[in-house]
Chains A and B, each alone.
Chain A
Amino acid sequence: MDIIYTIWLRNMIRYMRSKSRIIGSISMPLFFLLFLGFGLNSVVNIPRLGENYIQFLIPGMVAMSVLFTSVFSGIQIIWDKQFGFLKETLVAPVTRLEIMLGQTFGGATTAVIQGIMIMVISLFVGLKVQSVLGFLIALGFMVLIGISFTAFGIAIASRMEDMTGFQLIMNFVIFPIFGLSGALFPISSLPSWLSPVTMFDPLTYGVEGIRYGLTGTSQISPIMSLLVIGGFACAMTVIGTFLFRKISI
């Protein structure tokens, strides 16, 4: 535990120091929220989920913020590899599992903090948290998304030599995962041939879970969401650990 904490702590210290990263990664979901939210609020009418598009969008933007921050945190292992710091950790008498878990929890924590920032900002544009329980449910789903995608980032980073492949992963994996997740529009509004695809997107369940927590309504039952995103988090952690064990420097 103390080793996991140590790795986590380092992540936190670095996070607190990187003001530009903090601002940078809340700006995108924030702009989405403002432009899409206000721009489409009067145009879009979502059946069964109330008239308010901003209300619908907020959970999606919280999820987006968590998603991007966590993938990025995981991929940061590549910096450690390039700057040589990874060697310092790998040569210590600690297991790779401990390093991997510390890194995962560190990444997930920063991602959740970023998500909470979006949530707080959302309070000013119309978010009304239903109850403490609802908030905690949303938080739980954010943690699961954070763990899943930090582990995903670590898995990718373990196989990559440098950052050149990062843009590729972003464009062909992360953006589709985000776009198909129902963060921007209700999954039921998709054409029938596309909607099954969203069901294979793990983030769909994360977004739905947060939405249930924050607004009290969702298209997928929260239990179902919990099972899928929880299972995905476990699977990614196992895969990430497996690949990280084989990392070579």
Chain B
Amino acid sequence: MTTAIVVQDLTKKFNELVAVNHISFEIQQGEIFGFLGPNGAGKTTTLSMLATMQQPTSGFATVQGKDIEKDQDGVRKAIGIVFQDQSLDEELTAAENMDFHGRLYRIPPEIRKQRIDELLRLVELHERKNDIVKTFSGGMRRRLEIARGLLHHPSVLFLDEPTLGLDPQTRNHLWQYIATLSKEKNISIILTTHYMEEADRLCDRIAIIDHGTIIALDTPDNLKNGIGGDIITITTPEFEKASKILTEPWINRLEIYNDEVRISLQNAEQHISEIITILNKHQITITSVSIHKPTLEDVFLSYTGKKIREEESDKKEMMRRHLRMRRH
């Protein structure tokens, strides 16, 4: 395996604000690598630096061996990127947007034409290829952008929130496609997301990022196993008291989140009745109890003490995209 990306102590400051704070990692060729983190974590800023769109304040990084500051052109030739915000020309047709891109990357005419057809078929936009992008839905635009990002056969592909605002079916479809792509063409894919499921399903490794810092980096399984087994969540008004009583040796971790007591332990099924008995004995009212296998949300929660808000921030995010597109 060869290394596609090396990042050492990369930092970006906007005046006082440290958007990306001394991050370091390596990405192998052919790997799908995910940045998972809440709004404002520094995901886009990291990608922008790697794609040469922003200069780091300090630190060092290479993409396919090319220094992101000293050899910008080399980096740009090697990468493809799908930005978080739309970057299509709405007055042009789908095919024209693709053609413009192909010409910018100096792809010879015949190959260009053939690949454009191929890719538009792949993202199922071939029938609409001569329609003006203005008439496309959000999902169609996203698919077009992904197709465009692949046109020049980059060996590294950056996808900033690739499935944001897509319906579940399209999202699934794209996941499959991204996975196939990295496998068949050995493309390294670096994506950002705040969907747990996306990160879990798709990524070989995940960096959990918050406030510009990587707080955990591993395979999804290792991350989930690392927090101490299954999770029992008990909702109770007396969460303080409950957390003090539960001191059994088989409890690996215990956290309070709002009015929930979250207990990590192995083989939760075997211990659940015991826990309830203890709580009953101390006359603690239980509003609800649930058991689940750890998810990346739990991993995030255990590292940061907060949740990555999903539904809500999604709506906000869509609004933002929308406003940006409409703003004159």
Which one of B77, B96, B148, B324 lies within 8 Å of A84 (CB-CB)?
B324
Q: Are A91 and B328 in contact (CB under 8 A)?
A: no
Q: Given the interface contacts A17-B91, A249-B53, does A84 sit within 8 Å of B83 by beta carbon? A: yes
Which residues from 231 to 249 on chain A have a C-beta closer than 8 Å to any C-beta of chain B? Answer: 249
A85: chain B residues within 8 A (beta carbon):
87-89
Q: Is B142 an interface residue (CB 8 A)?
A: no
Q: Which residues does chain B contribute within 8 Å of A195, judged by CB atoms? A: none
B86 on interface, CB distance cutoff 8 Å: yes
Which B67-87 residues have C-beta < 8 A from chain A?
Answer: 73, 76-77, 79, 81, 83, 85-87
Judge whether A83 and B100 touch: CB under 8 Å: no
In the complex the two chains form, is A6's CB within 8 Å of B87's CB? no
Interface membership of A45, Cβ < 8 A? no
Provide the residues of chain A in CB contact with B73, threshold 8 Å: 93
Contact of B96 among A13, A93, A94 (CB under 8 A): A13
CB pair B53–A88 under 8 Å, yes or no, is: no
Contacts of B106 in A (CB 8 A): 2-3
Chain B, interface residues (CB within 8 Å), range? 20 to 34
Q: A13-B96, A18-B91, A92-B104 are in contact. Are A83 and B86 (CB under 8 A)?
A: yes
Return the chain A residue nearest B80 by Cβ. Answer: A91
B92 interface residue (CB < 8 Å to A):
yes
Contact of A6 with B325 at beta-carbon distance under 8 Å, contacts A17-B91, A83-B86, A83-B90 already known:
no
A14 at the interface (CB under 8 A from B): yes
**Interchain CA distance A18-B92 in the complex, whole Å:** 11
Q: Which A residue sits closest to B84, measured CB to CB?
A: A84
Chain B window 105-136, contacts with chain A (Cβ cutoff 8 Å), 1 for yes, 0 for no: 11000000000000000000000000000000
A163 contacts partner chain B, Cβ-Cβ < 8 Å: yes
Residue A82, interface by CB 8 Å: yes
Q: Is B171 part of the contact surface with A, judged by Cβ < 8 Å?
A: no
Task: Assess whether B316 is interfacial by the CB under 8 Å rule.
Answer: no
Q: Which chain A residue shows the least CB distance to B321? A: A84
Closest to B90 in A: A83
Neighbour of B87 across the interface among A2, A84, A94, CB < 8 A = A84
Contact pattern, A 87-125, Cβ under 8 Å of B = 1, otherwise 0: 111111110000000000000000000000000000000
User: Across the interface, do A83 and B104 meet the contact criterion of CB distance under 8 Å?
Assistant: no
Assess whether A159 is interfacial by the CB under 8 Å rule: no
- The answer to whether B104 touches A163, judged by C-beta atoms less than 8 angstroms apart, is no
Q: Which single member of B53, B88, B92, B324 contacts A91 (CB below 8 Å)?
A: B53
On whether the beta carbons of A94 and B92 are closer than 8 Å, the reply is no
Q: How far is the CB of B191 from chain A (nearest CB, A)?
A: 17
- Given the known interface contacts A3-B104, A6-B103, A10-B89, the answer about A83 and B325 at a Cβ–Cβ threshold of 8 Å is yes
B327 within 8 A of A: yes
Residue interface bits B40-82, CB-to-A below 8 A is 1, else 0: 0000000000011100000000000000000001001101010
Q: Decide: A6 near B100, CB < 8 A? Known: A84-B87, A249-B53.
A: yes
Name the distance in Å between B325's Cβ and chain A's nearest Cβ. 7
Cβ of B22 < 8 Å from any Cβ of A? no
Contacts of A1-60 to chain B: CB distance below 8 A: 2-3, 6, 9-10, 13-14, 17-18
Nearest chain B CB to A44 CB, angstrom units: 40
Shortest distance from the beta carbon of A140 to any chain B beta carbon, whole Å: 29
Contacting residues, chain B, for A88 (C-beta < 8 A): 83, 87-89, 101, 148
Contacts of B103 in A (CB 8 A): 2-3, 6, 9
Instruction: Please indicate the chain A residues that have their CB under 8 angstroms from the CB of B105 in the complex.
Output: 92-93
Which single residue of chain A is at the shortest CB-CB distance from B79?
A91
Partner of A6, one of B53, B86, B104: B104
Q: Which of A10, A14, A92, A163 contacts B328 (CB 8 A)?
A: A163
Q: What is the distance, in angstroms, from B131's C-beta to the closest C-beta of chain A?
A: 13
User: A10 vs B148: C-alpha distance in the bound complex, in angstroms?
Assistant: 16
- Once the chains bind, are B100 and A93 in contact (CB under 8 Å)? no
Q: Complex formed: what's the CA distance from A207 to B53 in Å?
A: 41
Highest count of chain B CB atoms <10 Å: which of A6, A9, A18, A88: A88
Taking a contact as CB atoms under 8 Å apart, the answer to whether B327 and A82 are in contact is yes
How far is the CB of A141 from the nearest CB of chain B, in Å?
A: 30
A92 neighbours in B (Cβ, 8 Å):
76, 101, 104-105
Of chain B, the residue at the smallest CB distance from A87 is B87
Asked whether B51 lies within 8 Å of A91 as measured between CB atoms, the reply is yes
Interface centre among B52, B88, B100, B324 (most CB of A within 10 A): B100
Per CB-CB distance, the 6 closest pairs between chain A and chain B, nearest first, are A93-B76, A84-B87, A6-B103, A92-B104, A88-B87, A93-B77
Show 22 A/B contacts (Cβ-Cβ < 8 Å), sorted by A.
A2-B103, A2-B106, A13-B96, A14-B91, A14-B92, A82-B324, A84-B83, A84-B85, A84-B86, A84-B87, A85-B88, A87-B53, A87-B87, A88-B87, A89-B104, A90-B53, A91-B52, A91-B53, A91-B81, A93-B104, A93-B105, A162-B327
Using a CB–CB distance below 8 Å, which chain B residues touch chain A? Answer: 51-53, 73, 76-77, 79, 81, 83, 85-92, 96, 100-101, 103-106, 148, 324-325, 327-328
19 new A-B contacts at CB < 8 Å, known A83-B87, A87-B85: A3-B106, A9-B100, A10-B89, A10-B96, A83-B90, A84-B83, A84-B85, A84-B88, A84-B324, A85-B88, A87-B53, A87-B87, A88-B88, A88-B148, A90-B53, A92-B101, A93-B76, A94-B104, A162-B327
